[in-house]
Structure 1
């Protein structure tokens, strides 16, 4: 590969003998986050962009996940770029394949596909302070160089497979929801599903329709509220196309409702505890209507506060357990046998298909998703795990020059991931615009700015359900190894977008 000259957006090397990187910007990940970052750079006039994606197509989670029942759990008018509305959603909560098509539409419209390389797994990245470039190594042993590195590997990209005793001895079919085989039919199968998180809530009703028998192993119950879902009729779709303002209005209404749930029920639990309890009552009423058996309701009712763990929406999940061939097992797993699971209470359940809805390994291997080494040999994952998880504005980290991380501590804002993406696009635009204005090519957030932001986030979270509510039994991925809830940014959507577009430029050093 021939070294590429810097694009018109930013100045090139300013010293004799400086190595010219192959790319101005290298983005790891071709999901919605990576595409959003690429769009922000292209708007700045930077076209020398490489997007490396380990999978064989774009779309991120909407490419990897295609299990039965997959759909968004945020209304589609909100779960999309605000600057690129899609008037063709078939339902209020669009099924997964429509999100994949939307991703391709965005990539085509913004000319992103020519920047993408698939099957390119990044193993490590290291900052070369002398050359002021990133050296990125891929699984094939090749090295790429770039002036700026952006990680957009997603929050849920490393599937978690628990090491159950006897798992290797099981002779039946094993499926993980993040590695589903579309040609595998559950019809007539004796199925066990392990897990009752948001993914399982979508999958279990579909499995219950097809399986001869279905046993669901639950470690922690989940709060589930009714799902107000319906097809979007063609006349409404035509109206969205002809009068885009109507779709924007629908987005504002839905976003406002989500904001109320997030801000009132989660972030300001201390001040607005009755709102949190109202959400719990709604979920309990929903459960009572669909499950008449008192003991089963008890098992399905969480004993932690609403919001400690991400709640979800479904009209069919609870009803599945009322079917005679569906069993809820809560005693845990003792071991797997070649044709069965032995539960901790001694019950032996014969199965031929094991479905792992066990989620993702978020804090152990996903922050970051590969080894990243900055100045003075600081390794990012080791730094986070031995200290505190932290990132200025959820985007940058001291001693990591020219590095932007889109899936970082305190970066997730609101309930729609697109709120996070668009806030980060604003941050990129402001930061790189200043870099260009000053005629510099290297940036790094200061230790003082990072520390002040971490203190502010810690202080704001004190009113949240995570620290004021009862979350001890939630086993929530919101909490890291240190017991801190460092995933969500404790701010309203409007405040986040404003802060990402107006942070003090003095918080960065430029050279």
Structure 2
């Protein structure tokens, strides 16, 4: 029996940031040409399209924050500014011929799996239906701004903006400015705006570990050296080793390796070097272990608090008034209120960014509410066939997102090749495989930094509402090996006309509309 099903595309990728771009390039290289990328932005780049605040840049060396197959040697600095990442995204889209395959300014609001036809029906914000055999979620985690739940925020009559939606029409010169939050975005924006504003008040809930940043401009001679045989390879390996040491190894093997303790001593010395006032220095000193939340690297952030026009308020915000912010320390009048309050990461509405219903109509968010956040190797969830995610629970280990993207696309391509070779139309991870992986991740907690008592004071977005930290507890090399060697028996491959779970007996043909 041969079944023919009409679908708009074999694969739809939701997201045109680096995860979506990397997935699309991998698909093309592997011979999967019938795909469409959909993104609600009007340009490529994801995080680097939306986030344009002053001072934005990468927080790991640029040599690691790029695809291994498309290494650029013209970065202006070791830590590239955001505009260069945006340009790199556009370069990749153009070089690999992806632009005709992207629909910008299109939001996916819902996706439903059709059990009878083994396909996904996706609905856009305009009410249009798109169908695909497979859906790959590549929406990232740093695109949906998280607004603070503070009484009176709607009463403020001045200018309010979130760092991820920066209003470049606003002139901050001579203004009284308040910044809520001291995470990664704040660490970058605060030193940039402090010299031009009249007054700057920083409202801090939890101090961030801030380490010195080994950053420097890259002169033309370095660019020429990178062009020599092996130049980019050596630089990338050195950069990758630095990244691996500063988070994956330090965080996941805290109880075994001493890197975190060394990092804490470095951070405290940096703080003493940078901040003159002992009282301010004490307020900026974290009381939790390095790694409980993602640390930052900056040579300018801490010393900004030496400026006479900058104040640090660590009291809880009682309310936002029409003219400013009130804490126990008093009422701060501000003209502009900047929300550096981060993003929805391990939260509903972000994983995924659309309402997704799998086999039998089960909603993914409801499944996760019942079973806790989990996904086999960070890619697949049982009951949600033909759906794969790049940045799923227990997928990211804290290294470069580009390492994650290449790791997960390797996993997904193995599945797609297997399905194509066996004429399968439905790919679903087994419950047994998913449970085994989830238990393995939980069993690896013993050496992770997140379970130190002090982490309860970190207010880290790594912790989800169940108190779990759905980061992949392993090194990057182990993750890559597993992506290429997982057992196909961990999945069920079935074809239209056969029962789910049975051997593929009937060929299925996809007709492109």
**Which TM-score bucket, shorter chain as reference?**
over 0.9
Mapped pair 1:426 → 2:426: no
* Partner residue, 1:146: 132
Separation in structure 1 between the aligned mates of residue 434 and residue 417 of structure 2, nearest angstrom: 20
* Partner residue, 1:43: 29
Q: Which of 252, 260, 264 is the equivalent residue of 1:276? A: 260
| Unaligned stretches of 5+ residues in structure 1 | 1-13
Separation in structure 1 between the aligned mates of residue 422 and residue 2 of structure 2, nearest angstrom: 16
* Partner residue, 1:329: 313
TM-superposed CA distance for 1:386, in Å, is 2.4
Deviations 1:390-435 (A, max 9, x none): 1011001111111111121001134211110010121122111111
Separation in structure 1 between the aligned mates of residue 101 and residue 348 of structure 2, nearest angstrom: 30
Q: Secondary structure at the match of 1:136?
A: strand
Deviations 1:442-499 (A, max 9, x none): 211111111111111111222100124520110101100000111x211111111111
Separation in structure 2 between the aligned mates of residue 410 and residue 507 of structure 1, nearest angstrom: 17
Deviations 1:90-129 (A, max 9, x none): 1000000000000011111111111000110110000001
Q: Secondary structure at the match of 1:342?
A: strand
* Partner residue, 1:91: 77
Separation in structure 1 between the aligned mates of residue 226 and residue 248 of structure 2, nearest angstrom: 29
C-alpha contact (below 8 Å) 2:141/2:344 kept by paired residues: no
Mapping of 1:261-300 within 5 angstroms? 261-272=246-257, 274-300=258-284
Mapping of 1:239-388 within 5 angstroms? 239-241=225-227, 243-272=228-257, 274-343=258-327, 345-362=328-345, 363-388=347-372
C-alpha contact (below 8 Å) 2:390/2:409 kept by paired residues: no
Separation in structure 2 between the aligned mates of residue 197 and residue 314 of structure 1, nearest angstrom: 12
Q: Secondary structure at the match of 2:7?
A: coil
Higher mean C-alpha deviation, range 426-435 or range 135-144: 426-435
Q: Which of 441, 463, 470 is the equivalent residue of 2:425? A: 441
Separation in structure 2 between the aligned mates of residue 414 and residue 195 of structure 1, nearest angstrom: 22
C-alpha contact (below 8 Å) 2:112/2:122 kept by paired residues: yes
Q: Secondary structure at the match of 1:338?
A: coil
* Partner residue, 2:493: 510
C-alpha contact (below 8 Å) 2:249/2:475 kept by paired residues: no
Separation in structure 1 between the aligned mates of residue 311 and residue 170 of structure 2, nearest angstrom: 22
TM-superposed CA distance for 1:194, in Å, is 0.2
* Partner residue, 2:503: none
C-alpha contact (below 8 Å) 2:313/2:329 kept by paired residues: no
Deviations 1:326-366 (A, max 9, x none): 000011211122222111x1501111000000111221321
Q: Which of 439, 448, 452 is the equivalent residue of 1:464? A: 448
Mapped pair 1:190 → 2:176: yes
Q: Secondary structure at the match of 1:210?
A: coil
Q: Secondary structure at the match of 1:472?
A: helix
* Partner residue, 1:9: none
TM-superposed CA distance for 1:177, in Å, is 0.4
* Partner residue, 1:232: 218
Mapped pair 1:52 → 2:38: yes
Separation in structure 2 between the aligned mates of residue 293 and residue 236 of structure 1, nearest angstrom: 39
TM-superposed CA distance for 1:261, in Å, is 2.1
Separation in structure 1 between the aligned mates of residue 242 and residue 52 of structure 2, nearest angstrom: 28
Mapped pair 1:483 → 2:467: yes
Aligned length in residues: 493
Q: Which of 370, 377, 380 is the equivalent residue of 1:396? A: 380
Superposed CA RMSD in Å reads 1.2
* Partner residue, 2:501: none
Q: Secondary structure at the match of 2:454?
A: coil
* Partner residue, 2:199: 213
Which contiguous aligned blocks of 4+ residues in structure 1 show a shift greater than 6 angstroms?
Answer: none
Separation in structure 1 between the aligned mates of residue 48 and residue 97 of structure 2, nearest angstrom: 20
Separation in structure 1 between the aligned mates of residue 409 and residue 233 of structure 2, nearest angstrom: 20
Separation in structure 1 between the aligned mates of residue 483 and residue 329 of structure 2, nearest angstrom: 54
Deviations 1:52-73 (A, max 9, x none): 1001101000000000000101
* Partner residue, 1:107: 93
Separation in structure 1 between the aligned mates of residue 482 and residue 404 of structure 2, nearest angstrom: 12
Higher mean C-alpha deviation, range 461-470 or range 392-401: 461-470
Q: Secondary structure at the match of 2:11?
A: strand
* Partner residue, 2:61: 75
C-alpha contact (below 8 Å) 2:18/2:46 kept by paired residues: yes
- When the two structures are superposed, what TM-score results if normalisation uses the length of structure 1? 0.95
- When the two structures are superposed, what TM-score results if normalisation uses the length of structure 2? 0.94
C-alpha contact (below 8 Å) 1:462/1:468 kept by paired residues: no
Q: Which of 194, 202, 222 is the equivalent residue of 2:208? A: 222
